[in-house]
Amino acid sequence: MGDLHSAEEHGNTQISTVIFDLDGTLLSTEHLTKEILKEFLAGYGKVPDKEKEKKRLGMAQKEYAIGIVSDYDLPITPDQYVQAVMPFYHDLWLQAKALPGANRLIRHLHKHGVPFALASNSKRKNIDGKVSLQEGWKECFSVILGSDQVKSGKPSPDIFLEAAKQMGADAAHCLVIEDSVIGVRAGKAAGMKVVAVPSFHSEFDQYTIADSVLRSLLDLK
């Protein structure tokens, strides 16, 4: 797939609605997450396991925290971990930049009247905090959803199905744009077409269930 229009050709299905993930898809925050984890674990004399962290990409906050505490055998609860690191996240969100092609794509869809939503495994209040720092973003999205607004976060399809429902769109006519394997699985489970833009280019072979895999949002024209 080389452009937005070709998304409409997958399985002869007309795409009418686009649903984006946020972190790692539109916003460059994944490297910030890695830095926070590295600094936090250093306080316990531990270092991040790259392979484990790749698999954690896209997880909801609760599952992410449980995994961190368990995998690194930390003497704290998952809730204590979240409480300890959240202040660092709030500070670093100020540094988060739109990924290449994100602003152009948002403007293009908005200009042409294509409804699009934001569906993230982050909590809604955290999504609002990040999006509010990006000029012109918040008013462009028809719907914004966090994992705390649905029964189950990704890889459950709940958040994508709820976004489609709120926009009055049929799942079969929705295109999901995601950076994580967890998100891609959720989009496919929802019965939607999925374009993957992997955060780690060396991991392209992990995204075979996606309908298309791109190196950058700039490849969507």
Question: Given this model, what pLDDT does residue 93 score?
Answer: 80
- 143 shares a domain with 88: no
- Ordered alpha helix ranges (H), the chain: 30-42, 50-56, 61-71, 78-93, 102-111, 124-131, 158-167, 181-189
Per-residue pLDDT of the chain (221 residues; tens, 9 = 90+): 344 554 444 455 799 999 999 999 999 987 888 889 999 999 999 999 988 998 888 888 899 999 999 999 999 999 999 999 998 888 878 888 999 999 999 999 999 999 999 999 999 999 999 999 999 999 999 999 999 999 999 999 999 999 999 999 999 999 999 999 999 999 999 999 999 999 876 677 889 999 999 999 999 86
Split into its structural domains, the chain has a count of 2
Q: Find where tokens 């674990």 sit.
A: 41
In angstroms, the CA 173 to CA 164 distance is 9
- 210 shares a domain with 150: yes
Active site residues: 21, 23
- Find out whether 141 and 163 touch, Cβ atoms under 8 Å: no
- 58 shares a domain with 131: no
Looking at 75, 93, 111, which one is the last position of a domain? 93
- 150 shares a domain with 54: no
Query: pTM of the prediction?
Result: 0.86
- 67 shares a domain with 104: no
Looking at 46, 75, 93, which one is the last position of a domain? 93
- 49 shares a domain with 20: no
Looking at 49, 77, 93, which one is the last position of a domain? 93
Domain extent for 183: 5-29+97-219
- 68 shares a domain with 147: no
